[in-house]
Amino acid sequence: MLAPTLFGVGVIGFPLVYLLRANPAVVKAGAMARPECVARCHCAFVPKIGCVVWLGTWPRDRRGGKSSHFLHHLSAGSAAWRGRRQFSETFMSIELLMLGDQPVSRLAARTRLAEESGFETVWLADERFYRETYSCLSYLAGQTSRVKLGPCVTDPFARHPALTAMALGTLDEISEGRAILGIGAGVSGFAELGIQSRRPPLAIREAVDLIRQLMAGQEVDYRGEIIQFHRGRLNFTPPRARVPVRVASNGPLGQKMGGAVADGVMMEGCGSVEEAKAFASAVAEGATKAGRSPGEIKLVARLDCCIANDGKQARDILRPSVTRIIAQATSRFYTLQTQGLTLPKEVVEAIGPVPYAAGVAPFAALFPLVTDRHVDALTLCGTVEEVTQHVIDLRRAGVTGFNIFPVPAPGVSYEDVIMRFGTQVWPAVKAAFAKASSEGQT
| Cα distance between residue 409 and residue 293, in whole Å | 41
Decide: helix, strand or coil at residue 415: helix
- Residues 158 and 203: their CA atoms lie apart, in Å, by 12
Model confidence pLDDT, tens digit, residues 237-253: 999 999 999 999 999 99
- CA R_g for the chain: 22
Sequence spans of domains, the chain = 4-83, 93-248, 300-424
One-letter identity of residue 99: L
Query: From CA 157, how far away is CA 425, in angstroms rounded?
Result: 37
What is the pTM assigned to this prediction? 0.80
My answer on whether omega of the bond before 425 falls inside 30° of 0, hence cis, is no
Residue 17 has pLDDT above 90, yes or no: no
Range 354-367 average pLDDT: 91
Distance CA 232, CA 145 (A): 33
Amino acid, res. 314: A
Residue among 36, 81, 33 nearest 57 (CA): 33
* Phi and psi angles of residue 407, each rounded to the nearest 5 degrees, phi first: -125, 120
> Over the stretch 284-311, which tens digit does the pLDDT of each residue have?
999 999 999 999 999 999 999 999 999 9
DSSP secondary structure letters along 96-162: EEE-S-S-HHHHHHHHHHHHHTT-SEEEE---TTSS-HHHHHHHHHHT-SS-EEEES-B-TTTS-HH
Query: How distant, in Å, are the alpha carbons of 79, 273, 288, 392, 396 from that of 284?
Result: 23, 16, 6, 21, 16
Mean pLDDT score of the chain = 84
Per-residue confidence band for 184, with pLDDT thresholds at 50, 70 and 90: very high
Residue 66, pLDDT > 80, answer: no
Banded pLDDT at 87 (limits 50, 70, 90)? very low
| The pLDDT of residue 7 | 33
Is the separation of the CB atoms in 204 and 156 below 8 Å?
A: yes
Nearest to 436 by CA among 164, 83, 135, 128: 83
Q: What is the pLDDT of residue 440?
A: 81
Could you give the percent of the chain with pLDDT greater than 90? 74
Backbone angles phi, psi at 274, to 5 degrees: -60, -45
Q: Which amino acid would we find at residue 371?
A: T
Task: Check if the beta carbon of residue 402 is closer than 8 Å to that of residue 303.
Answer: yes
Distance CA 131, CA 111 (A): 15
Is the model's pLDDT at 6 over the cut of 80? no
Strand order in the sheet with 73-75: 29-30, 41-46, 51-56, 73-75
Q: Which residue has the higher pLDDT, 139 or 12?
A: 139
**Omega of the bond prior to 367 within 30 degrees of 0, cis?**
no
Answer yes or no: is pLDDT of 130 > 50.
yes
**E-assigned strands of 308-393?**
380-382
Q: What is the CATH number of domain 93-248?
A: 3.20.20.30
All residues at 6 or more sequence positions from 401 whose CB lies less than 8 Å from its CB, including other chains: 92, 93, 94, 95, 120, 264, 266, 298, 299, 300, 301
pLDDT at 36 over 70: no
The three-point CA angle 112-177-217 to 5° equals 150
User: How many alpha carbons lie under 13 Å from residue 357 in its C-beta half-sphere?
Assistant: 9
Distance separating alpha carbons of residues 70 and 84, to the nearest angstrom: 11
| pLDDT, position 442 | 58
Give the per-residue pLDDT at 436: 86
Reported as a single tens digit per residue, the pLDDT across 185-218 is 998 999 999 999 999 999 999 999 999 999 999 9
Question: What is the separation, in whole angstroms, between the first and last Cα of the chain?
Answer: 34
DSSP class of residue 58 equals: P
Query: What is the rounded CA–CA span in Å between residue 16 and residue 254?
Result: 25
Helix, strand, or coil (residue 401):
strand
